[in-house]
Amino acid sequence: MNLALEDALCNRLARIRALGAARIRPVGLEADRAGAPLPPDHPFFAELVRLGLGRTRWLGGEDPDDAGPTTTEARRERSERDEETRGERGSPSFTGVVLAEELAYWDRGVAVAFPGPGLGEPPILAMGTPEQKQRFLGPFRAPDRPRWGSFAMTEPGAGSDVAAIRTACRRDGADWVLDGDKSFAANASRADWIVVFATCDPALGRAGHRAFVVERGTPGLGDFRIERKMGLEAYESTSFTLRGCRVPAANLLGGEERQSGRAGFKGAMQSFNATRPMIGAMAVGIGRAALDETLAFARSHDRLGDPRVRDRLERSRRKLQAARLLCWRAAWLADQQRPNVLEASMAKAVAPQAAFEAAALGMELLGEEGGRGDHLIEKLFRDVKAMDIVEGTGQIQRVLMARQLVGLPRD
Ligand SMILES: Cc1cc2nc3c(=O)[nH]c(=O)nc-3n(C[C@H](O)[C@H](O)[C@H](O)COP(=O)(O)OP(=O)(O)OC[C@H]3O[C@@H](n4cnc5c(N)ncnc54)[C@H](O)[C@@H]3O)c2cc1C
């Protein structure tokens, strides 16, 4: 594993840093003060699209009908993008975690609010047919406007225990009909489509799981309600319902052929193995921001002469650095197409904890100043908690790793 970052990646990091200081952190603070997500028509999102952000990682080319760009302008755009993502082709997961950490450093809520296919992308990449990738990710290759995708697994009665989902799907002629309730899906009400996990028979357990792409405006998809959150205000976490919601069979991810065994469940797990290191990396970003804030405070308040303060700051930096390496390794294994289940769980279990400790240390050292409610450290402290919860709680990761250690199956 090569730990040196390529020049192209360093350039992208530098661009995020500049955007982070000028725009990402300010709009994150704006949303936090308003206590509401940035609206879809916020000028910042259009600005991101103009900057060439909000795109899919999918580079196209798998569809036999896709002859590539036809106009000179589109060919130039494709060639620029190919140049930009040249390094990424071989290491999309590694590139993803490095950039995600930097985005979260500036504001993790804003990073999730960014237009793009979001958490809906990994299951489409893992399970989708070439035609489905083209249809659902194609519009994200050079979007004409801010577009979002969403991922809905969690239900009021099924969070950690993914196998317990009760959203029902049944085949009816050329369609599938979906009924159920989903909660906490990022960007769901503004999304062009939502990847919805459902079961065709709860008695079949995970073998009954299917994933569908439900498009905006589909009759029966509705009752969107943005949930209250303690932090990460910039993006919406939304509950919604599916009532007799008819989805064409062509929107069943992977098509009928792929549905033997536990393909739907395995697809979800595969996408978690890609996204858990990413969540870990974002936690490291929040932790780094907290540590920088705490260091600045300690320096400006003459606290660095105290060896106990120095020791605690150093310990925090060391833990964040170790957590980052776990995230990098898990992502690197994914890029090598090698199993990373254990490493993805380790990254997800360790990084949010190290980040939480960094934010808690900041709150402690800043004391009254931090507790007043208008200091960045207090916002980071509220933001960081969710990192332990999303994509499988830290506790669940520890359960999985302990089972693996003693040779038991994961489920
Ligand atoms: C900010 C935020 C964003 C989110 N975004 C999305 C999204 O975009 N899409 C989506 O589908 N979901 C999303 N979620 C939901 C998230 O995935 C769930 O909250 C998470 O899986 C935990 O489920 P739960 O909240 O129902 O907690 P529970 O599953 O009810 O767990 C409660 C507690 O019990 C522990 N626990 C549960 N089972 C066990 C066990 N077997 N052994 C030991 N301990 C156990 C857990 O670790 C936890 O501490 C989001 C959540 C948050 C907070």
pLDDT digits 0-9 by tens, 17-57: 999 999 999 999 999 999 999 999 999 999 999 999 999 98
Look at residue 82 in the predicted model and tell me its pLDDT.
53
Q: List residues near ligand 1 (CB under 6 A).
A: 119, 151-154, 159-160, 184-186, 229, 232, 237, 386, 389-390, 393, 395-396, 399
Mutation pick for ligand 1 pocket among 148, 155, 160 (CB with most ligand atoms within 8 Å): 160
Q: Which of 107, 184, 224, 382 to mutate to test the pocket of ligand 1 (most atoms within 8 A of CB)?
A: 184
C-alpha Rg value of the chain to the nearest Å: 21
- In the reported structure, the alpha carbon of residue 283 is separated from the centroid of ligand 1 by a whole-number distance in angstroms of 16
Mean per-residue pLDDT over the chain, rounded:
91
Tokens standing for residue 95: 């590139």
Cα–Cα distance between 325 and 321 in angstroms, integer?
6
Alpha carbons 281 and 355: distance in angstroms, whole number: 10
- Taking CA atoms only, the protein residue closest to ligand 1 atom 29 is 160
Alpha helices in 307-375 (DSSP H): 307-335, 341-366, 368-371
Asked if residue 74 has pLDDT above 90, the reply is no
- 309 neighbors 294 (Cβ within 8 angstroms): no
Mean of pLDDT values over 288-304: 96
Q: Which atom of ligand 1 is nearest to the CA of 396?
A: 47
Query: Where does the pLDDT of residue 409 fall: very low under 50, low under 70, confident under 90, or very high at 90 and above?
Result: confident
**Which H or E run includes 193?**
strand 193-199
What distance in Å separates the CA atoms of residue 175 and residue 193, rounded to the nearest whole number? 17
